[in-house]
Every structure is written in structure tokens, then in C-alpha cells.
Structure 1
Amino acid sequence: MTDQESVLQPVPDTAADDRPVVTENGGLRGGRCQSCGAGSFPRAYICPSCNSTEIHDAELPGEGSLYTWTTVHISPTFATPYTLGYIDLSDGLRLLAQVLAPQEQLRCDLPVRLATSDQSPTGWGFVPVEGATA
């Protein structure tokens, strides 16, 4: 092994990526492992399922269901209150995102879809699918 091979190289900073998160088709810009097919959001550089480094840009589904949620009442940065939820995307990936809906509309397994919003500091979040009720 040479000295050059033993030096670890940093991975790119995903927070510095300024491309839009929401794709033109209404999905999420994330990653997909070429080895096992697992999705990641934001795009991972090492697959959380199989440890492969063969991760490529992919469009993830923009719809899913609300697994659980909580409302944040104290925040050092963002206007409160706001709701965060774990969203189970239709392809099986679970992610944490802002939920843009009143508490009384929320329930576990509520169908949700990705939406852009000026209400969210990130510019996007999930809203209930029209016709879905608590």
C-alpha cells in the first residue's frame, strides 16, 4: 500500500448542493444504489443497505403515507409551530420532512404528496392528498 492509497478522501457535501429538491415531475431528487436498488434522500454516497458506493442520482416518488409526526413549538431558527413527520414513500424509503397541514387533518397512514411551499424554510414539504381525511 502506498501513502497515497492510505489517505481518506472527503465525500462531497450534500448540503452545499443547490439543485432543486423537487423535480419537474413532482418527485424528490435523491439517490438509488445500483447494487441493491435502495433509495436514499438526500443522496447518500455509501448505500445504507449494502455499503456499496455505486449510488446514482435518481428521482424518488413524490407520494407516500404519513408514518408519524410531531409539532415543534420551540425552535432557535424557524418560525413556530411547525410539524415534522416521517413519510413512507411509495417505494419503501422513509424520510423526515415538514408536513404542511393543520394537526386536526393528520393521522397515521394518511396519504400525502410532495408540494412546494413558501411556508416551509426548505421550500417544500408534504401535504395530504386531496380527498384524504382524518
Structure 2
Amino acid sequence: MPADMQLQVVASLLRRGRSLDQLSTGLTLLGVLFGLAQLLMVSITPICLLLSLWMIVLGLLQKYWALRVAFDADLFALMAKDIERTGELDQTLQTLGLQPANRASRPWTERRRGALKLLRKQAYLLGAQVLLTLAVILASPWLPFAG
């Protein structure tokens, strides 16, 4: 597979991070609502409040990785059009302080591996957020009265 096609495929994969980010944003807002509900209830359940806080923290961390993944998706799509401009890209990233000088001139296989690793980190944080959401629901004091 030509290098430009590989970069295009990686860019397409990285753009899927947007869907992960949207789901995480919803779960983060749900964590905020759960936390506020706990604070407004007569009896505060500390475990639910703590789990809600962790949902929010994981959501914010996931948001950071989502921004990095989206940035990489744009760069990979741009470079797929003209891979000969890799030196220019490295110089620009260094000038903006986004890449140390020792990371320049890396092969694209290493760059692809690093970008996909960021996407996996984003997915792992979303998975942890989903598990925490389930834990909040199961630990909620109103669950026995739901049915």
C-alpha cells in the first residue's frame, strides 16, 4: 500500500475519535448531573459523589486526548496529499513548540503507531467512563425504588 494511502487510512481512523469524544462528552455531562443530584438530595451518598467526580475527571482527560487525536487526523490527511513536505511539517511543529527537535525525521510508520496509540488511550478512557457510569447507576440510592 503506498504511503499516501496509508496516511489517508490512518487519518480516517483518527477521525473516528470524534465519535468517541461525543459519547464521552455526554457521559461527562451525565456525571455532572449525577453529582449535582447528589448534592441536592437530602442524604448525600459519598460513593456516588466520588464516582461522579471520577466520571468528570476521566471525561476531561479524554477531551485532552480527543484534541490531540483530532489534530493528528488533520495532519495525516494533509500529509497524505503531499508526503514530500514532511520536513516542512517537522520544522513548523518545532517552531510552534509542538515537537522537540529530536523527534523530527521520524519514519511515518513510527508516527502512525504513535497516533493510533493516542486513539487507543482515548478509547480506554471512554471505556473507564462507561464503567464508572454503570457503577454510579448501580450504587445510586434510588435504584431499589425504580422498579
TM-score class, shorter-chain normalisation, is under 0.3
Which structure would you say has the larger Rg?
A: 2
Higher relative contact order (CA 8 A, sep 6+): 2
With structure 1 as the length reference, what TM-score do the two structures score? 0.24
Please identify which structure carries the higher helix content: 2
